[in-house]
Amino acid sequence: MSIAIYITVMAGVTYLIRAVPFTFFNKKIKSPFIKSFLFYIPYAVLSAMTIPAIFYSTGNIITAAIGTAAAVVLAYFDMPLIVVALAAACAAFAAGLFF
């Protein structure tokens, strides 16, 4: 029974998050500041959720930092996502063999 309550509350919250902006914002947003703020929110939230998970994923912060550094370097050079992910995983694994 409690699972049904959890799902209902989750559905209600999800609906409200999506419906409230349509209710309050009838006109198009013209402010460049608010537009840029809303544009960068998904990136900020994704980073806030991902970065801590990256550093606690391996159990050793040194190996996680090495994998992250490899990913950042390869992403800087515009490598494909699969290459970045595999290289970061391999770098963290190889560092784990030494630390």
The CA distances from residue 72 to 68, 75, 77, 90, in Å, are: 6, 5, 9, 14
User: Rounded distance, CA 84 to CA 54, Å?
Assistant: 14
- Give 47-66 pLDDT, tens digit per residue: 999 999 999 989 899 999 99
Q: Point out the residues of the chain with pLDDT beneath 50.
A: none
Tell me the two tokens of residue 47. 């980073």
HSE-up of residue 13 (Cα within 13 Å, Cβ side): 6
pLDDT the model gives residue 22: 81
pTM: 0.64
